[in-house]
Amino acid sequence: MNVTEVRAQVVRPAVNDWRVLRVFIGDRDFNRGAISMSAALRNLPLDAPRTAQGVLAQVNTLVGQLRARAPETERLRRMHPDNLRDLTEAGVFRLAMPTDVGGYQADEDIVAEVLAQISRGCPSTGWMCTIMVISNLLPALLADEAADEIYATPDLRITTTIAPTGQAATVDGGYRVTGQWAWNTAGVHSNWLASACVVPGEEDRGLRVMLMPAAEVEHQDNWHAAGMAGTATNIATVGDVFVPEARTILVKDLAEGRYSTRRYSRLPYFNRPFVMYINAGSAPALLGMARGAMDCFMQTLPARGAITYTAWPKAADAPLLHHQLAKAQYDLEAAEMFTSRLSALYRGVLHRPPTIMERTQARGYIGHVASLSRACVNQLFEASSASHTLLTADIQRYFRDINVLHQHAAIQPNSGDEAYGRVLAGLDPNSEIV
């Protein structure tokens, strides 16, 4: 049993069962914004899982299929259409959405386990799901009219890019946005884009995130990478698009968990720092890659024969391999523990604002999970035979993917370690992304 399975046994009250919620559609005290919310619930399939635990159970059955489709996902350079269908039907993209729009408001450990298991099967698919699951929480942080508009979108999938490469000019009622963002993972599968912009005249307030319908975004087909090849991390371009003020929010407010009064203000689940959630929600993808590499290694080990140019007739008999396997398992277990600790850290601020130490720990922990997961995968790859470098071998995909994702600016441990060390030393973190 892994570190999250115990918490996964907890059954949520019936109010988190979206099919139960359908009987409350006419109750405006229970469900304000009834027109758009009713539409959102009516769009849900009747055979979707009733609870977040049901989503996890369904995802667990898909791991083998996700791995079998991973080579084709890489070739397509986007999510395999069968993966997108299966994961949508499983309810994955509704995990962190409010229950009154058909979401699950799922416990952090359940979300982490779902995302880790998807990445265990296919790292590219797991990372795209990570982006969209996390981003689908964003509308709950906005003004009610924006939340109603966005959550009324069938099969909602939002992608987010925080790189400040767009500009937004202030106009009556909102902003006009123009820009180009180079790292819009899964953008071709989204129906909304949340992108960070510099607003001339608002420099003292920092960056502002703008939410725009994907129909107003041009997605280039330019993603060719050594790893995470199937993530469709293409360039997104927007030219002079109007965004009402209600569909915007300051990055500083997302980091500090400071939101305006709105329908979801009464729910602690939607009043924590969103940047903290990015850190807590992104770590499981890395952990899942380590699990997947261990799966592949253990599946092939019994059939491996002699280690060439040694006296060992079977690889499984070699003491060196025993040491390598033990080290990889230690790293995997440590990655499990730190991923669980990250979820606990985020859960711990459910009813109070986090300290700057806790926010910085979240940034530091994801980098540490990345390092532990990469160490596990690299050790297993080194312990594999040369034949596992062939593209027909699954473990080489985990090796490429973990090393590429480890380079992600919001994940790589150097920046997180620096921020954490600075706060431990009594200084400010010197970073907005904590």
Q: How far apart are CA 337 and CA 92, in angstroms?
A: 23
| Alpha carbon of residue 332 to chain centroid | 19
Q: Please provide the average confidence, as pLDDT, over all residues in the chain.
A: 90
Q: How far apart are CA 95 and CA 112, in angstroms?
A: 10
Residue 12: per-residue pLDDT: 36
Other CB atoms within 10 A of residue 168 CB: 26
Question: Of 19-28, 236-245, 360-369, which gets the smallest average pLDDT?
Answer: 19-28
Element (H, E) at 268: none
pLDDT of 310 over the 70 cut? yes
| Alpha carbon of residue 38 to chain centroid | 27
Q: How many Cα neighbours within 13 Å face the side chain of 175?
A: 28
Fold of 7-151: Butyryl-Coa Dehydrogenase, subunit A; domain 1 (1.10.540)
With bands split at pLDDT 50, 70 and 90, how would you rate the model's confidence at 45?
Answer: low
Give the model confidence (pLDDT) of 96-106 as tens digits: 999 999 999 99
- Give the residue-averaged pLDDT of 355-378: 97
**CATH homologous superfamily for 274-424?**
Butyryl-CoA Dehydrogenase, subunit A, domain 3 (1.20.140.10)
Model's pTM, two decimal places? 0.90
Contacts of 218 (CB under 8 A, 6+ apart): 236, 237, 238, 239
Other CB atoms within 10 A of residue 215 CB: 7
Give the model confidence (pLDDT) of 79-131 as tens digits: 999 999 999 999 999 999 999 999 999 999 999 999 999 999 999 999 999 99
Residue 20: per-residue pLDDT: 44
From the list 20, 92, 96, 84, the residue with the least C-alpha distance to 55 is 92
Fold of 158-250: Butyryl-CoA Dehydrogenase, subunit A; domain 2 (2.40.110)
Q: How far apart are CA 137 and CA 280, in angstroms?
A: 13
With bands split at pLDDT 50, 70 and 90, how would you rate the model's confidence at 7?
Answer: very low
Residue 16: per-residue pLDDT: 47
Q: How far apart are CA 190 and CA 172, in angstroms?
A: 28
Sheet with 174-184, edge to edge strand ranges: 218-219, 234-244, 174-184, 158-171, 192-198, 208-213, 248-250
Domain residue limits, the chain: 7-151, 158-250, 274-424
- Give the residue-averaged pLDDT of 297-315: 92
Q: How far apart are CA 197 and CA 13, in angstroms?
A: 40
Residue 152: per-residue pLDDT: 97
- Give the residue-averaged pLDDT of 269-277: 96
- Give the residue-averaged pLDDT of 307-321: 91
- 3-state secondary structure string, 359-412? HHHHHHHHHHHHHHHHHHHHHHHHCCCHHHHCCCCCHHHHHHHHHHHCCCCCCC
Planar angle of CA 350, 38, 217, nearest 5 degrees:
75
pLDDT of 50 over the 90 cut? no
What residue spans of 248-301 are helical by DSSP H?
251-256, 274-300
Q: How far apart are CA 124 and CA 122, in angstroms?
A: 6
Tokens 């083998």 belong to: 64
Residue 203: per-residue pLDDT: 86
Give the model confidence (pLDDT) of 56-83 as tens digits: 999 999 999 999 999 999 999 999 999 9
Q: How far apart are CA 40 and CA 205, in angstroms?
A: 34
- Give the residue-averaged pLDDT of 319-348: 97
Give the model confidence (pLDDT) of 155-178 as tens digits: 999 999 988 899 999 999 999 999
Q: How far apart are CA 297 and CA 264, in angstroms?
A: 46
Q: How far apart are CA 120 and CA 292, in angstroms?
A: 4
With bands split at pLDDT 50, 70 and 90, how would you rate the model's confidence at 44?
Answer: low
- Give the residue-averaged pLDDT of 23-38: 37
